[in-house]
Amino acid sequence: MNRGESGAVAHAVKGPEPRVPELEIPCLERGAEPKGVGKLQNNRSGAELGEPGVRVFKLKTKSVRGKLKEFYDMLTSLLPRDELPKSAFRYRREWENSFIEVIHSRLATGKWLRPAKKRENRRKRVKRKSSIPKRPPFLLTARFILSSGEQRGRRDAPVVVDLRRREVRIPRIGVAVPIPERLARALEEENRLEPRPEFVVQLCSDGRLRIIAKRAPEPRALEVPLRIIAVDENSRYGFVVAVFDFDERGYCRLTRFEVFKPPNHGHREGIVAALKSYADKPGLEALERVRELLPFTPTPDDAERLARAALARKKRLNNAFIETLVAGVRELVRGALQEGAAVAIVVDPINSESLQGTPLQGTLLRVRERLRNLARYEGAHFAELRASGRYCPFCGAEGVENGHRVFKCPSCGATWDRDRAAVANLVLRYLKALYREECQDADPLRLVDAMRAWLKRHIGFLLR
């Protein structure tokens, strides 16, 4: 890179960040790039593709942002940097490459040359999206000191994650960031995983720090004992998570059935829309609408502030929903792996057309990506499959509607609730797909029988 050029770039840079994992602590993870929705995407390919699963742990660095920013500038500067140890530059090449990538993709889309859009809004606090991208994060190696005193990681690493003293230290710049207890426990657990994840610390240009754990263990062969975690995305009810365990003798049982309800933003969005239109064009009509929704009368400036706060709250609630669901599934996966079982996560993606433009769309897609990433990280199989509650879980015949969302089988006489049958059929479809893909090994078919036997014994499951 030409020195003058890249120097100029490095200083001008602000704007949408390159692809960086970002979520809330302590269980933040984010998948790799979304892949096309295939028929049966078994995730044993995860490891084969060489794309590890990732977990991201954010640190609170507010009090030392300045020092960290300086450190970032030192690390990414083209000036001589003899005062820093070599080990700090282990990932310098990666940083340069990702920077070049950002610039190339900007040039390719033509965004680089486009001047920043002038917004008509006269209020200054409105965030302007700059057309110039942010500098990518810089990666640093980390050494862990576990609570037992045991050390893991490279000795010369510039970052020390000290779980005994509950702090992350960068001795070179005299910075120490506390680690909350929950995060310390999570990091301790991650260090004890076998195989142990690969850890790096991400230093962002704005002084934020994240610990990234990467891992891609080979999933266990799909044999009993087997846990199938079925996740049915359903816009009416939220996420239905049903866990079916198959033991060594091939018996099936339902171990967990839970519905995760995403936050409802209907009312919030109405308020935001009213506040925004009032902030943009303060008029009597707009004010009336705001008054109908709020117990007080805001000024246009207040209205704008309130709208922003409401949107921020919506984002927080969505994130919290995703964290809860992903953490729940992770627990289910780890529990089964500890018992020596193979695990498969099977997702029935909601029809994306029915979601277009709805407030849930982004959240649902993120959950799916997070689950895919989780499967890779934990060593579980992952598949996306469509299943319908219209078909009989016992014989596969198309049911006839027999009441509100209730169906009856014209062939075997079974009755079922559509939403419940959808989850059961998801698991059954997965097992049948395995049978077709796995060299016609008859085991998956035995599991189909086992599951139908369970459904027969627990007919209430299908009727709720």
Please give the Cα distance from 323 to 366 (Å, whole number): 11
Considering the complex, state which of residue 400 and residue 412 has its C-beta at the smaller distance from Zn ion.
412
Q: How far is CA 156 from CA 27, 38, 141, 160, 285, in A?
A: 27, 44, 8, 10, 65
Q: How far is CA 36 from CA 41, 379, 383, in A?
A: 10, 21, 12
- 455 scored as a contact of Zn ion (CB under 5 A): no
As a dihedral over the C-alpha atoms of residue 293, residue 295, residue 296, residue 298, rounded to 10 degrees, the angle is -30
Cβ(415)–Cβ(463) under 8 Å? yes
Q: How many CB atoms lie within 10 A of CB 40?
A: 14
Cβ(436)–Cβ(430) under 8 Å? no
Q: Report the Cα 114 to chain-centroid distance in Å.
A: 32
Q: Which stretch, 78-86, 342-350, 413-421, 453-461, contacts Zn ion (CB under 5 A)? A: 413-421
- 409 scored as a contact of Zn ion (CB under 5 A): yes
Considering the complex, state which of residue 267 and residue 456 has its C-beta at the smaller distance from Zn ion.
456
Considering the complex, state which of residue 14 and residue 432 has its C-beta at the smaller distance from Zn ion.
432
Q: What is residue 372's three-state secondary structure?
A: helix
- Distant-in-sequence, close-in-space partners of 142: CB < 8 Å, separation ≥ 6: 153, 154, 157, 159, 160, 161, 199, 200, 201, 211
- 459 scored as a contact of Zn ion (CB under 5 A): no
**Least distance from C-beta 95 to Zn ion, angstroms?**
59
Considering the complex, state which of residue 133 and residue 389 has its C-beta at the smaller distance from Zn ion.
389
- 412 scored as a contact of Zn ion (CB under 5 A): yes
**Least distance from C-beta 460 to Zn ion, angstroms?**
17
Considering the complex, state which of residue 117 and residue 456 has its C-beta at the smaller distance from Zn ion.
456
- 392 scored as a contact of Zn ion (CB under 5 A): yes
Contacts to Zn ion from residues 86-115, by CB under 5 A: none
**Least distance from C-beta 397 to Zn ion, angstroms?**
5
Q: Report the Cα 1 to chain-centroid distance in Å.
A: 35
Q: Which stretch, 2-10, 16-24, 95-103, 405-413, contacts Zn ion (CB under 5 A)? A: 405-413
**Least distance from C-beta 449 to Zn ion, angstroms?**
15
- 126 scored as a contact of Zn ion (CB under 5 A): no
Tell me the HSE value of 363 on the side-chain side, using a 13 A CA sphere: 26
Does a cis peptide bond (omega within 30 degrees of 0) precede residue 34? no
| Total residues interacting with Zn ion, rule: CB under 5 A | 8
Considering the complex, state which of residue 334 and residue 432 has its C-beta at the smaller distance from Zn ion.
432
- 37 scored as a contact of Zn ion (CB under 5 A): no
Binder of Zn ion out of 72, 144, 246, 394 (CB under 5 A): 394
Considering the complex, state which of residue 126 and residue 395 has its C-beta at the smaller distance from Zn ion.
395
Binding positions for Zn ion, rule: CB under 5 A: 392, 394-395, 397, 409, 411-412, 414
